[in-house]
Amino acid sequence: MSDNTISLSRWLIEQERTYGHIPGSLRLLIEQVARACKRISRAVNKGASTGILGSAGSENVQGEVQKQLDVIANDVLLEANEWGGHLAAMASEELERIHVIPHRYPRGEYLLMFDPLDGSSNIEVNVTIGTIFSVLHLADGVSEVGPEHFLQAGRQQVAAGYCTYGPQTSLVLTLGHGVSVFTLDSEQGSFVLTQSSLRIPALTQEFSINMSNMRHWAAPVRRYIDECLAGQDGPRGKNFNMRWVGSMVADVHRVLQRGGVFLYPWDKREPERAGKLRLLYEANPMAFLVEQAGGMAIAGTERILDIQPETLHQRAAVILGSNEEVALLQRYHREAS
C-alpha cells in the first residue's frame, strides 16, 4: 500500500473528526460489517472448489429456496457482529425472527439489517453478487428489543451500504455525508478508498428492468419504457440502452457509477404484494445511497425513505437512479393515480 492510500479504518476515523457526531461505536460497527464482507468475499472467490455452491436444501421466510452461500453469508454476518458490543439486535432476509444479541455480550445502541447474499440466482454462473446492509439507531429507553423497533422509516438510517463480489470486491458506504467507494486490496486484506463524494450523473440513456415482466407492469412503467424503446423517433428524442444483471447490487452499482434508472416495480403477478424487493434489507439502504449520491428513489408516487414499515419482511416497489429519469417516472405515476 502506498503512503497516500486511505484505508477504511483511517477514513472512518477522519469522518469522525470531521463530523464530530459520528460515534466511535458506529465506526467500529462498520468495521465489523466490512470484516464479515471480506470473509464472504473469500468464500465466494473459492466457489465451486470448496463445494459451497448449490442449494442448501432449505427455504427462507419468503418461501425462497436458500443456497448454501445464502446460509454461509448469513452465519458470517451474525457471528461477526454479535460480540462487538455495538448492536442490540439484527434482522436478516434469511431469518424469520430478529436475532437479539445474547446476554453474554454487552448490548449496544444500534440495529443492523442485511440481505446477506443478494443476487443468489447468479451464484452458480459466476456473476456479481453482494451483501446489502442498513443501520438504525435503537430508540432510547428500550429494555426488550422487538421487531417493532426495526420498523423505522428509511430516512432514519444512520448508515447503509453494500459490498459487491465481482471482478473486484467493492464496499459502497454512506454515513449520511455523501457516498464513498472502497476497493478490497486482497493482498493487504484491507478496503482502500477509491472514490469519494460519488455523484450519479443526472442525464442518462440507460434503463434496467426485467423486461420479461412487461405484460404484468402498471401503465406508468409501461409508458416510460415504451418511450425509451421508441428511441430517437419517440417523445424522448434519444436512444436508450438496457442492462439487467439480475443482482440488485450489481445493477444499482452500475447506476451509481454511470447513471441510469433501475426498476423493480409492482406488477400484476402478485397484485397484493408491493413489489419483489424487501423494504428493510434492499430498498431502504439502496435508496439512502442513491439519495446521498444526488439521485432519487421512489416506490411510485412516494419517496422510498418516507415509507413507514409495518412488518419486518415487507416488500416495496423500487425505482431509483438519475434524478431526471426518476422524476419523470414519478410524474407518470402521479398522472395515473
Which CB sits closer to Mn ion, 170 or 190? 170
Order of all β-strands in the sheet with 206-208 = 241-242, 206-208, 261-264, 318-321, 296-298
Nearest residue to Mn ion by CB is 118
Among 119, 161, 166, 321, binds ligand AHG (CB under 6 A): 119
Which CB sits closer to ligand AHG, 15 or 41? 41
Q: Is residue 251 within the footprint of Mn ion (CB under 5 A)?
A: no
Among 109, 118, 291, 325, binds ligand AHG (CB under 6 A): 118
The answer to whether the CB of 333 falls within 8 A of the CB of 300 is yes
What is the pattern of x (binds ligand AHG, CB under 6 A) and - over residues 9-28?
--------------------
Which CB sits closer to ligand AHG, 109 or 115? 115
Helix/strand/coil (H/E/C) assignment for every residue in the chain = CCCCCCEHHHHHHHHHHHCCCCCHHHHHHHHHHHHHHHHHHHHHHHHHHHCCCCEEEEECCCCCEEEHHHHHHHHHHHHHHHCCCCEEEEEECCCCCCEECCCCCCCCCEEEEEEEEECHHHCCCCCCEEEEEEEEECCCCCCCCCHHHHCCCHHHCCEEEEEEECCCEEEEEECCCCEEEEEEECCCCEEEEEECCCCCCCCCCEEECCHHHHHHECHHHHHHHHHHHHHHHCCCCCCCEECCCCCHHHHHHHHHHHCCEEEECCECCCCCCCCCEEHHHHHHHHHHHHHHCCCEEECCCCEHHHCCCCCCCCEECEEEECHHHHHHHHHHHHHHC
What is the smallest separation between the CB atom of 323 and ligand AHG, expressed in angstroms? 21
Among 69, 91, 115, 251, binds Mn ion (CB under 5 A): 115
Q: CB under 8 Å to 222, separation ≥6 — which residues?
A: 214
Which CB sits closer to ligand AHG, 23 or 246? 246
Which CB sits closer to ligand AHG, 66 or 157? 66
What is the pattern of x (binds ligand AHG, CB under 6 A) and - over residues 169-208?
----------------------------------------
Q: Is residue 32 within the footprint of ligand AHG (CB under 6 A)?
A: no
Among 120, 170, 190, 322, binds ligand AHG (CB under 6 A): 120
What is the smallest separation between the CB atom of 47 and Mn ion, expressed in angstroms? 17
Tell me which stretch binds ligand AHG (CB under 6 A): 16-24, 114-122, 218-226, 296-304: 114-122
The answer to whether the CB of 209 falls within 8 A of the CB of 226 is no
Total residues binding ligand AHG (CB under 6 A): 13
Q: Is residue 164 within the footprint of ligand AHG (CB under 6 A)?
A: no
Q: Is residue 247 within the footprint of ligand AHG (CB under 6 A)?
A: yes
Which CB sits closer to Mn ion, 93 or 109? 93
The answer to whether the CB of 40 falls within 8 A of the CB of 70 is no
What is the smallest separation between the CB atom of 45 and Mn ion, expressed in angstroms? 18
267 binds, among Mn ion, ligand AHG, none (CB under 5 to 8 A by kind): none
Q: Is residue 88 within the footprint of ligand AHG (CB under 6 A)?
A: no
Could you list the residues that contact ligand AHG (CB under 6 A)? 64, 93, 115, 118-121, 210, 246-248, 264, 276
